[in-house]
A and B are shown apart, each in its own frame.
Chain A
């Protein structure tokens, strides 16, 4: 396991799907291949923090994808005569101010957060990754233009920029929020890719491939990009958590999803005034939210340790 050949050359470097925390290695598992990914998988499965965080994300992901799996109650079936009833066997999270079942609301509330985070993250991975690749590979004026563009977007503080865009757009739904998060966050990933492309485009095997007559696109996607996948994957995992938090923050500030929509952010912002009388109304959504963000960050940390041979 220790005879890792090269830091970046992911053996069998088929591009790993960039839109989620997939840790599936591309190399077959039968023969003891010591590719970066197989090694990383072995290390990750032995890391209890990663496994717990991963299981938590699987749970939240299944809430988002199949809410029916977790609850049979309808979060829209409300009756005001049971407003703010504390948790009981029938309503494990109690009921909210309008007398709706809070547990099913929390389950259904996972979907918007996760959908926004996944859409925005896939967007920045594809778009930011492509621009970073172009800027790093071609250099020169292409790099200048793309870098200035990145500077411009990065100079807007994230939260302020999101507030401005959502205020002027005026239609706040899952799509626009994902779009705004995407528009403000792509430069960071483009920078990461650009840096790692620049550092690997002068490696000997790239020159060799060029000498053999490989086209630009083959050089970029087959020989250079696999080097950048590890840092991209780490960042994408962390940014998923950041986007979940950002959605809730924007909703809380009143520029995100609006009340009839169900999300953890609306749960928190609607019930924040009842914190002292009925703290569970806030503790459940806050707990789910913090758990999700924490899991993504811990997974990102574990991935970084596993994918960076320097830490071994």
Chain B
């Protein structure tokens, strides 16, 4: 166990460095091939050379290696690493606001969205999976099977659009016409977009859309692992001992079956971050995802790179924790 943890930590370091180098190299190549990004500030106008020079310098794009095509700019990479790990500095946007500051403004929304998504996905997915797994071949089993295939095959942005228009606008308009429904529900929950007045309620539907995508996988995973475990010897022993069905399922079977599901949920955080980009754009949530899309559309690559670097660090740490937790949770797994 101890050796496994150490080995896993040692693998973690080159992966982090490699990923960050990949991102760094992409940016450098982009600057080397498509020119000074500071020009984006001026649009069509030709800026006075002195002004351009000053801005370029202040944004840190004046390094000579950025003029040599294909040069990996190791010096710049080392500076960047130092900035990130020693000064917690992920760069600035074209208007010289710190990326960390932009992210700090946006992160509460994304966190709420992710929590809603993960809770929704875990509760509904596990419940559906358990019910389907206990009665394999039943009507419920087929319902879960068909709906999971369907949910997997609908791209999240299609689902988001349809939900926004049908639930947020159409159903919402009907609800908003009724006097007896409190505003919190009619205006807050069933809204086509994020509302600052209802910072939690108006995130519920976007969160559910975000969770719906992995919901299917969670349900399938639970179903398979329940079906595997229900035939295991220790479950038969528990039944033979005369334990109630509730205890056999709830404690003996479920506990073992949930190990792969929990791992999946942990790893899924990364995918959910990607999905948040789409949901936040559709529902106009001012979170990290929308920050990424908006910067991508306006071509502010420095923001995109900074935010994504930060997210990648979070994802990598989450994966590391999941791996370590896996080793603790399931004593049958040996990593020697």
Contact = CB atoms under 8 A, between A and B. Distances in A.
Do these two chains interact? yes
A245 B296 contact: no
Contact of A167 (B14, B156, B271, B304): B304
B155 A248 contact: yes
A50 B313 CA distance: 41
B15 interface: yes
Nearest to B273: A157
A254 interface: yes
B30 A159 contact: no
Nearest to B173: A276
Contacts of B26: 164-165, 168
A167 B301 contact: yes
Q: Which of A155, A166, A253 has the most CB of B within 10 A?
A: A155
Contacts of B15: 148, 151-152, 155
Interface in B14-54: 14-16, 18-19, 22-23, 26-27, 29-30, 34
A164 B27 CA distance: 9
A107 interface: no
Contact of B277 (A149, A155, A160, A241): A160
Contacts of B19: 152, 155-156
A268 B308 CA distance: 26
Given A167-B304, A253-B278, A254-B293, A160 B273 contact: yes
A298 B274 CA distance: 24
Contacts of A7: none
For this complex, into which size category does the number of interface residues on chain B fall?
A: 35 or more
B149 A160 contact: no
B30 A170 contact: yes
Interface in B248-275: 270-271, 273-275
Contact of B155 (A155, A163, A245): A245
B165 interface: yes
B158 A163 contact: no
Interface stretch (A135-143, A200-208, A288-296): A288-296
Contacts of A255: 296-297
A163 B170 contact: no
B154 interface: yes
Contacts of A272: 161
A294 B155 contact: no
A150 B157 CA distance: 28
A70 interface: no
A188 interface: no
A252 interface: yes
A159 B275 CA distance: 7
Interface string A156-190: 11111101111111100000000000000000000
Interface of A: 148-149, 151-153, 155-161, 163-170, 241, 245, 248-249, 252-255, 268, 272, 275-276, 282, 286, 289-290, 293-294, 297-298, 301
25 contacts: A148-B18, A155-B270, A155-B315, A155-B316, A157-B270, A157-B271, A157-B273, A157-B274, A157-B312, A159-B274, A159-B277, A160-B308, A160-B311, A160-B312, A161-B308, A165-B26, A253-B296, A254-B293, A254-B297, A255-B296, A255-B297, A272-B161, A276-B169, A289-B155, A293-B154
Interface of B: 11, 14-16, 18-19, 22-23, 26-27, 29-30, 34, 149-150, 152-158, 161-162, 165, 169-170, 270-271, 273-275, 277-278, 281, 292-293, 295-297, 299, 301, 304-305, 308, 311-312, 315-316, 319
What are the 8 A-B residue pairs with the smallest beta carbon separation, nearest first?
A159-B274, A168-B30, A294-B153, A152-B18, A245-B155, A157-B274, A293-B153, A167-B296
